[in-house]
Amino acid sequence: MDRKFPDGPGLLRTPVLVTGGAGYIGSHAVLALRDAGWPVAVVDDLSTGFRAAVAKDVPFYEGDIADGELLARIFVEQEIGAIMHFAGSIVVPESVADPLRYYGNNTAKSRALIAAAVAHGIGHFIFSSTAAVYGAPDHSPVDEETPAAPINPYGRSKLMTEQMLADTAAAHEINYGVLRYFNVAGADPQGRAGQSTAGATHLIKVACEAATGRRDGVAIFGTDYETPDGTGVRDYIHVSDLVAAHVLLLERLIAEPEASLTMNCGYGRGFSVSEVLDAVERVAGTEIARRTEARRAGDPGELVSDPSRIRSTLPWEPRNDDLDTIVRHALEWERMRTD
């Protein structure tokens, strides 16, 4: 069997390099790509990821996305034709405290990766961007025409990479897809992957750790927002639906090599912090101690996607657009933890 044409002639499944494939979202992307028959290789420096998150039979390269020699070797050895770029640093307050680290790891190293891709004729590039590029918009939901106005170094470091990709695609034989994720949560429904991040800060993860006794409780950062119950509202998207969108986007980029796309990735509805905690209590069947704290610096009150573009562009049918399902999968993963 030709590994690029597992179903016979038709869709060319070019081998895909997944950067950050040992991380939370990247490890789910590896599963989704393999489930759909794509050959995959991973590069990850294991700074926040875990070797065990990547199956043993996936070619794994431990190293940095800015290591040109390593990338050249991977591109040749694995006959890479597309890149899904998840590797990066992701904690907003950390980006405020150490901005140069974020501009280094997210912007400068993405530049090195993009340069290597161009030099080796890689045709397609998908980039993990973030709703943080919108900053604190004065309206909700936000569509992609909303001016990008990030309010922290993390968002700016990501926006610069988006801009580099646009300029690069205009000048070279490469097209790209940018997905601006809203709040990613949950775990593989089959229990093959989940979020293992040490010292996680994401609400659903933190709440599940509290529900399973790994934390004392949950701090609610701000109860005085202009939202129905005063707590922050976000658009939580199941990680498996998110990575499914990546696979569809890849097919699209290959089918239309002249077109590049920037799209929100969310469901288009928001839940407040209190509603999320209610859901975790409901699903876990246990109470979570809640304490109120001041607003977290840089947090917008409400950030919800307008998903019209992705819904009209890709044949994307989310399967887990349900808060309790997202929480249930996150909780199941949490309960399987042995560390």
Ligand X SMILES: NC(=O)c1ccc[n+]([C@@H]2O[C@H](COP(=O)([O-])OP(=O)(O)OC[C@H]3O[C@@H](n4cnc5c(N)ncnc54)[C@H](O)[C@@H]3O)[C@@H](O)[C@H]2O)c1
Taking CB within 5 to 8 Å according to partner kind, which of ligand GDU, ligand X, none is near residue 109?
A: ligand X
What is the Cα–Cα distance from 126 to 246, expressed in whole angstroms?
A: 8
Taking CB within 5 to 8 Å according to partner kind, which of ligand X, ligand GDU, none is near residue 299?
A: ligand GDU
**Cβ neighbourhood burial of 43 (10 Å; 0-12, 13-18, 19+):** buried
Give the containing element (helix H, strand E) for 32. helix 24-35
Cβ-proximal residue to ligand GDU, closest one:
232
Residues in a beta bridge with 263: 179
Closer residue to ligand X, CB minimum distance, 42 or 248: 42
Query: Which residue among 134, 154, 176, 236 is the active-site one?
Result: 154
Do residues 305 and 235 make contact, with C-beta atoms less than 8 angstroms apart?
Answer: yes
**Applying CB under 6 A, does 46 fall inside the site for ligand X?**
yes
**Applying CB under 6 A, does 264 fall inside the site for ligand X?**
no
What is the Cα–Cα distance from 29 to 184, expressed in whole angstroms?
A: 13
Q: Can 154 be counted among the known catalytic residues?
A: yes
Residues contacting 194, CB < 8 A, separation 6+: 24, 187, 188, 329, 330, 332, 333, 334, 336
Give the count of beta carbons closer than 10 Å to the beta carbon of residue 292. 12
**Applying CB under 6 A, does 271 fall inside the site for ligand GDU?**
no
Interface pattern 26-65 for ligand GDU (x via CB under 6 A): ----------------------------------------
**Applying CB under 6 A, does 211 fall inside the site for ligand X?**
no
Among 203, 243, 247, 323, binds ligand GDU (CB under 6 A): 203
**Applying CB under 6 A, does 78 fall inside the site for ligand X?**
no
Interface pattern 214-243 for ligand GDU (x via CB under 6 A): ----xxxx----------x-x---------
Q: Work out whether strand 271-272 and strand 233-234 pair parallel, antiparallel, or are unpaired.
A: antiparallel
What is the Cα–Cα distance from 161 to 125, expressed in whole angstroms?
A: 12
Which residues, numbered 64-93, are part of the site for ligand GDU (CB under 6 A)? Answer: 90, 92
Hey, which residues are catalytic here? Answer: 154
| Residues near ligand X (CB under 6 A) | 19-20, 22-26, 43-49, 64-65, 86-88, 90, 105, 109, 128, 130, 181, 183-184, 197, 202
